Structure 1
């Protein structure tokens, strides 16, 4: 994979900028973290060279100065909202991320449950946390929020929220996903800090959109495609243009709410000159770390095609509305892109049409293409992955990595003991069988050692694949897209 982004330079510049913001205020900065703390694969795909866990590496630079507050919306707990890329609920994702952060020596202050209205599931989640020694706080809905500034910035507004005790100069406020109440938590904390005589500040850590790239740059359009379900639209920041005569890109929600936010900040701090635009609030040095614009543009265009397929598949499965898919399709057309511009699409579709079964195509790191078809033994994802590692290991196509003697007892167990209607092997089951056979078969051991080389490979399937296969491919780091068609007429499909 070609590289176009200098991650080391990015971390250095971002770190310096954050330190500068901390000094700008009373050595107390509430930093709202947008996007994902861990596993930011979107950023890595559109900015080749970006470290998927770069934000964590950056936070480790502040290990002794920073503490972390997590926000989660009580409604998301109540509704069991799912983080799509991992298939787990938001509340479970918070616990997963906390475990990871603690293992890296970072200090977790607490969890704030926002928009709390007495939801029973939120109460259960809170009890679970407190019995495990995790501090929790409640923030409540505020009538007229955010436009009734006099009520919002009062003891009946932000003042009614629990105050989170903090002790370090940098307080990172993050969440498992959007609309979790990060901004409101930061502002509520500022209100309480100023009442206590601490002149704290607020800033926003964002990666996208990149403010100093053109409005229609593919990287910024890829962000629009990724957030199409939120109705996010990139715009020129009019406040920044007026204040500085400089063109900057931001997105509609931040621009629309900035006048109210500026008023709230002024009422809390008594200072109207802190920020003149929503772009001012951001700490975003990503644009300065791009050293090969052509590589980055090409990567972002591929991401937009991936988002196009994802939106269509989500619509087919009832996860989103048709408007979201149409929005992404419009972005595709703006850049004159076609789904076939994704190199793995045509091989999968052509072979699938010829054979009449689901087929997956995968592009290997050196550009070679391999395919795999669904059979009465295994899924298309399983056979394609086997063929890919055989190709990488230089193993002849007619040699079997897994003998039917190994596979048939597993299939028998699935069908006759566990009661599965479809006894074919999913990818994770095939990988387990491979790892067992590798202990006694050097050829299988050689092939299994090539699994790590599938990271960042592109793949496309001619039909939707099950969640188990999708999860296994994600763990291998494969960038998968699918046609929005179910492989069978069965209604139960997971």
Structure 2
């Protein structure tokens, strides 16, 4: 894939820009950190060259001035809310985040439990953290938030919240996921700092939408596709246009909440001399680091197609609504693309039409497309991995890396002893079998060593896959899509 983003430039100018913003506010800035810190794969897909941990690397450049506060909602603790990408609950993820930050040399000052109302789960979580020596603060629900400004900006509003003790000029407010209360935590701190005579500032750091790209730029359309389930909509920032006569892009929720934020700022400071628009509040410099716009456009269009397939697969599994699919279809029309613009999609569907069985296709980093089909021994995905690894290792296609007599006992185990109905090997099983074969087979050993070359490759299958296969492709770093077809029948 062509590189379209200068990651080194991004790390440099982004950290410098945040330092400039700190200096504007008397050396105390609360920075609401949106999106994923450790594994922002969406950004790395639509901005080729953007490292998935770029935000973390940028923070590490500010480690001497930065303090991290992690926010979690008591309501999310109580209902055991799960991070879909990691499969762990939010409270478990808070503990994970603390460990990950500290491993990188970043200082985690405290954890804030928002929406606290004495929930048992939240109390137990607080006690668990305190036993580990972690400071925990509590913020409470405010009736009428965010509209009841007189109550919010009063002793009975933000005034009831614990004041978070911080020691560094940059306080990064992050959370396991959306809806945790990051913005309210920042605003509460501004209120308390003002009472203590400190004119602290607030800023927001979110990569998307990119404010200085056109509204309908594919990178921004891809963000809308990624948030189709939230019904986020990119919009021209009317406040910025009115104040400066310049067109910038923001999204509906920030634009809708800005008049309320402005009123809260006025309630705290008496007047808001800092920000005239939602765009003013942002510190994102990603748009200034795009070095090949066409490469980013192509990558973003492919991401929109991937998001479409994700949505239609979720619809088949009754995990999404038709509106989510309709929205992405509209975005595809705006981007002037169809599913046929993704090469592996066309290849997998063509092979399926020719063979009449489930098939798969992969596009390697050199543009080569390899296909596979279901056989007596292997599912299409498992066969695809073997075919791709053989090609990458320079091994003839007809070469058998795993002997049939080595596969048969595994099939027997699955069906006779484990009650399975499908004797064919899944992706995880074929990789284990290949690893065992590598002990005595030099070709199998060479094939195994090619696994890292699969990262970033594109895969499409003619049928929906099992959770096992989906997880293996994810671990391999492969961008996977599937036709919304189950058991050979089109359900969508």
TM-score by length of 2: 0.95
The residue that corresponds to 1:247 in the other structure is 247
SS in 2 for 1:154: coil
The residue that corresponds to 2:126 in the other structure is 126
The residue that corresponds to 1:188 in the other structure is 188
The residue that corresponds to 1:477 in the other structure is 477
Contact 1:68 1:107 in 2 (8 A): yes
CA distance in 2, matches of 1:122, 1:423: 46
Contact 2:235 2:249 in 1 (8 A): yes
CA distance in 1, matches of 2:406, 2:197: 70
The residue that corresponds to 2:202 in the other structure is 202
The question of 1:450 aligning with 2:450 is answered: yes
CA distance in 1, matches of 2:344, 2:475: 20
SS in 2 for 1:229: coil
My pick for the range that moved more, 346-355 or 415-424, is: 415-424
Q: Shift of residue 487 of structure 1?
A: 3.0
**Structure 2 unmatched ranges of 5 or more:** none
The residue that corresponds to 2:229 in the other structure is 229
Q: Shift of residue 42 of structure 1?
A: 0.7
The residue that corresponds to 1:492 in the other structure is none
Which deviations, in whole Å up to 9, do the C-alpha atoms of 1:291-346 show, x marking residues without a partner? 11111111111111111111111122122211111111111111221111111112
Aligned pairs (5 A) from 1:51-130: 51-130=51-130
The question of 1:365 aligning with 2:357 is answered: no
The residue that corresponds to 2:38 in the other structure is 38
Q: Shift of residue 433 of structure 1?
A: 2.9
Q: Shift of residue 450 of structure 1?
A: 0.8
The question of 1:291 aligning with 2:327 is answered: no
The residue that corresponds to 2:167 in the other structure is 167
Q: Quickly say closer, same or farther: Cα 1:38–1:22, change in 2 above 3 A.
A: same
Which deviations, in whole Å up to 9, do the C-alpha atoms of 1:150-205 show, x marking residues without a partner? 11112221122222221111111112222221111111122222222222111011
The residue that corresponds to 1:329 in the other structure is 329
The residue that corresponds to 1:349 in the other structure is 349
Aligned pairs (5 A) from 1:296-335: 296-335=296-335
CA distance in 2, matches of 1:83, 1:328: 23
CA distance in 2, matches of 1:89, 1:483: 30
The residue that corresponds to 2:460 in the other structure is 460
Contact 1:373 1:380 in 2 (8 A): yes
Q: Quickly say closer, same or farther: Cα 1:279–1:365, change in 2 above 3 A.
A: same
Q: Shift of residue 5 of structure 1?
A: 0.9
The residue that corresponds to 1:260 in the other structure is 260
CA distance in 1, matches of 2:376, 2:99: 40
My pick for the range that moved more, 153-162 or 444-453, is: 153-162
CA distance in 2, matches of 1:129, 1:354: 59
The residue that corresponds to 2:405 in the other structure is 405
Q: Shift of residue 437 of structure 1?
A: 2.9
CA distance in 2, matches of 1:65, 1:198: 17
CA-based RMSD of the aligned residues comes to: 2.0
SS in 2 for 1:272: coil
Which deviations, in whole Å up to 9, do the C-alpha atoms of 1:329-381 show, x marking residues without a partner? 11111122111111111211122233333211100111111122234433322
My pick for the range that moved more, 476-485 or 370-379, is: 370-379
Contact 1:43 1:52 in 2 (8 A): yes
Contact 1:82 1:90 in 2 (8 A): yes
**Structure 1 unmatched ranges of 5 or more:** 490-494
Q: Quickly say closer, same or farther: Cα 1:442–1:96, change in 2 above 3 A.
A: farther
